[in-house]
């Protein structure tokens, strides 16, 4: 490495306050520990999910995955005020003392935002191309953040750039939606899993049933929501499908969302009355929240519950705005209590799916993901490729300020 590394640093209390910090003293790097790899981020994406990592980081340990490095300038040393979150994408192996992982190969997974390499202690669980991180400071993380997929080097990989872009942009978001369709709303009862993945919590066949239901999907323009709507229609037997899938979005996002063709109707956050008839004629209404704006989830629930034979609320995402740690925690608990909302946990779902058979999971999930990419992904999404940390910072600001619409897929070569 010859140039000075830079990293993305956020003010923990307000993710709109960001800094691209140069680390002239970071080099040279210490010798690599045994059974470790040194990884440098090569391709990384940016979606609202990254903003979630900052907003809810205090609850899930996300600030601690890639800690402030020892070489951080004094201005940013205070870890109670400053921190780093991470993103999804590919990192290049620049050094390795693991014989099965050669220099030049890529790892797909949860990677740092910056050009400073990270060292990972790893083990190989045996399943094809799977790498698990064993670094002690990461063991309290949810397992999804410690699992990587070993991929070919950039030069060897025959996949088109759009496929690599889609992997980075939404493989993990699609996976959450895939598990919700396959396991939370399981049509095959042997596959049924509670939305959190917790075996001890009740989630009955009737909770999982969607046949003839009306599904209302909030923040329908988000990539995770679009993946869910897609899977409900394209990866589910016809006789287990919902009757109507209604998307709910902002006025700015509505034309794009409608044009994807993934929803039967796309309404606005204030249009709850327009959904009453569909809700009243279905055996069941399920509200699925990927990050509704304002109090839309509560107002829709109040409008539809009186005439619905049965109503359930499943939470996936939260409103996209900066909030302090206390406000986030309070808001999460309040909506869970007020709406009997059950929260999805992507990591818990994957863990339980893996227990049903790791090789089968890999094969089935990757096949579904491959079909989605081969069919062109989300109609209307344009991949916007940029290079370098300054471009990352500009896009971060644009997304946080609401200036980047759902039709733009943000990707960065670092």
Ligand X SMILES: NC(=O)c1ccc[n+]([C@@H]2O[C@H](COP(=O)([O-])OP(=O)(O)OC[C@H]3O[C@@H](n4cnc5c(N)ncnc54)[C@H](OP(=O)(O)O)[C@@H]3O)[C@@H](O)[C@H]2O)c1
146 near ligand X (CB under 6 A): no
Work out which of 249, 272, 282, 408 binds ligand X, going by CB under 6 A: 249
Q: How far is the CB of 249 from ligand X (least distance, A)?
A: 3
Torsion sign, CA atoms 354, 357, 362, 363: negative
Closest to 347 (Cα-Cα) out of 184, 176, 125: 176
In the complex with ligand X, the residue whose CB is nearer, 90 or 290, is 290
Q: Per rule CB under 6 A, is residue 352 in the interface with ligand X?
A: no
Contacts with ligand X by CB under 6 A: the residue count is 30
Which of 87, 117, 318, 377 binds ligand X (CB under 6 A)? It is 318
Distance of closest approach, residue 68 Cβ to ligand X, in angstroms: 23
**Nearest of 168, 75, 159 to residue 113 by alpha carbon:** 168
Mark the segment that binds ligand X (CB under 6 A) among 59-67, 129-137, 272-280, 318-326: 318-326
CA dihedral over 405, 407, 244, 241, signed as positive or negative = negative
Looking at residues 261 to 300 of the shown chain, list those that interact with ligand X (rule: CB under 6 A).
Answer: 290-291, 293
- Which 153-212 residues touch ligand X, going by CB under 6 A? 173, 176
Helix ranges (H only) for 306-380 are 325-339, 346-355, 358-374
Instruction: Select from 8-16, 32-40, 46-54, 125-133 the region that touches ligand X (CB under 6 A).
Output: 46-54
Nearest CB to ligand X, comparing residues 105 and 373: 373
Which span (45-53, 126-134, 197-205, 355-363) binds ligand X, by CB under 6 A? 45-53
What is the spatial distance between Cα 369 and Cα 346, in angstroms, rounded to a whole number? 16
Q: Is 341 in the site for ligand X (CB under 6 A)?
A: no
Cα four-point dihedral sign 344, 347, 352, 357: positive
Asked if 169 and 45 count as a contact pair (C-beta separation under 8 A), the reply is yes
Pick from 106, 171, 196, 253: which binds ligand X (CB under 6 A)?
Answer: 253
Rounded Cα–Cα distance for residues 240 and 188 (Å): 10
Contact residue for ligand X among 6, 168, 222, 241 (CB under 6 A) = 222
Residue 260: CB minimum distance to ligand X, A? 12
CB of 204 to ligand X, least distance (A): 21
Q: How many residues does the chain have?
A: 414
| Closer of 297 and 399 to ligand X (Cβ) | 399
- Chosen residue from 317, 354, 365, 412 binding ligand X by CB under 6 A: 317
| Residue 176 beta carbon to ligand X: minimum distance, rounded to whole angstroms | 4
Residue 219 found at the interface with ligand X (CB under 6 A): yes
Looking at the Cβ atoms of 121 and 407, the one nearer to ligand X is 407
For ligand X, the closer of residues 244 and 345 by Cβ is 345
Burial class (CB in 10 A: 0-12, 13-18, 19+), 371: exposed
By CB under 6 A, tell whether 48 contacts ligand X.
Answer: yes
Question: Phi/psi class of residue 58: alpha, beta or left (left: φ > 0; alpha: ψ in -120 to 50)?
Answer: alpha
Name the nearest CA neighbour of 358 among 170, 108, 123, 125: 125
| Distance of alpha carbon 73 from alpha carbon 269, whole angstroms | 45
Task: Please tell me whether residue 395 binds ligand X under the rule CB under 6 A.
Answer: no
Dihedral of the alpha carbons of 300, 302, 306, 311, in degrees to the nearest 10:
60
CB under 6 A: which stretch of 24-32, 41-49, 206-214, 355-363 binds ligand X?
A: 41-49
Does residue number 354 form part of the binding site for ligand X (CB under 6 A)?
Answer: no
Choose, by CB under 6 A, the member of 18, 36, 52, 282 that binds ligand X.
52
3-state secondary structure of 127: coil
Closest by CA position to 366, among listed 197, 130, 87: 130
- Give me the helices (H) in 249-407, please: 254-259, 276-280, 296-304, 325-339, 346-355, 358-374, 389-400
- Chain residue at closest Cβ approach to ligand X: 317
Kindly state the smallest distance separating residue 290's Cβ from ligand X, in Å. Answer: 5
User: Which parts of this chain interact with ligand X (CB under 6 A)?
Assistant: 47-49, 52, 173, 176, 219, 221-224, 249-250, 252-253, 290-291, 293, 316-318, 320-321, 344-346, 399-400, 402, 406
């Amino acid at each position: 490495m010859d140039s000075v590394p830079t990293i993305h640093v956020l003010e923990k209390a307000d993710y709109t306050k960001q800094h691209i910090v140069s680390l002239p003293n970071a080099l040279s790097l210490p010798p690599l520990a045994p059974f470790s790899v040194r990884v440098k981020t090569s391709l990384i994406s940016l979606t609202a999910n990254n903003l979630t990592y900052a907003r809810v980081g205090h609850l899930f340990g996300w600030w601690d995955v890639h800690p402030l490095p020892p070489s951080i300038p004094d201005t940013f040393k205070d870890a109670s005020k400053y921190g780093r979150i991470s993103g999804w994408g590919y990192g290049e192996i620049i050094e390795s003392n693991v014989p099965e992982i050669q220099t030049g190969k890529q790892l797909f997974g949860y990677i740092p935002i910056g050009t400073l390499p990270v060292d990972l202690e790893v083990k190989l669980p045996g399943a094809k191309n799977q790498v698990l991180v064993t670094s002690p400071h990461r063991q309290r993380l949810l397992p999804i953040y410690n699992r990587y997929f070993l991929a070919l080097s950039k030069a060897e990989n025959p996949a088109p750039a759009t496929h690599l872009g889609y992997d980075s942009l939404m493989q993990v978001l699609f996976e959450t939606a895939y598990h919700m369709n396959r396991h939370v709303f399981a049509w095959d009862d042997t596959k049924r899993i509670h939305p959190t993945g917790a075996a001890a919590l009740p989630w009955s066949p009737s909770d999982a049933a969607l046949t003839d239901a009306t599904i209302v999907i909030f923040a329908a323009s988000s990539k995770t929501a679009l993946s869910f709507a897609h899977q409900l229609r394209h990866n589910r037997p016809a006789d287990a499908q919902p009757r109507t899938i209604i998307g709910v979005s902002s006025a700015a996002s509505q034309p794009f969302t409608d044009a994807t063709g993934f929803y039967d109707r796309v309404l606005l956050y204030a249009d709850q009355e327009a959904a009453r008839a569909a809700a009243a004629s279905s055996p069941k209404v399920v509200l699925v929240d990927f990050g509704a704006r304002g109090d839309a989830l509560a107002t829709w629930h109040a409008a539809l519950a009186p005439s619905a034979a049965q109503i359930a609320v499943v939470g996936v995402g939260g409103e996209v705005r900066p909030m302090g740690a206390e406000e986030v925690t309070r808001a999460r608990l309040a909506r869970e209590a007020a709406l009997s909302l059950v929260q999805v946990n992507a990591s818990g779902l994957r863990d339980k799916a893996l227990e049903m058979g790791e090789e089968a999971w890999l094969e089935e999930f990757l096949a579904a993901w491959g079909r989605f990419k081969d069919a062109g992904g989300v109609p209307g999404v344009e991949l916007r490729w940029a290079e370098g940390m300054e471009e990352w910072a500009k896009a971060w600001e644009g997304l946080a300020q609401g200036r980047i619409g759902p039709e733009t897929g943000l990707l960065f070569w670092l």
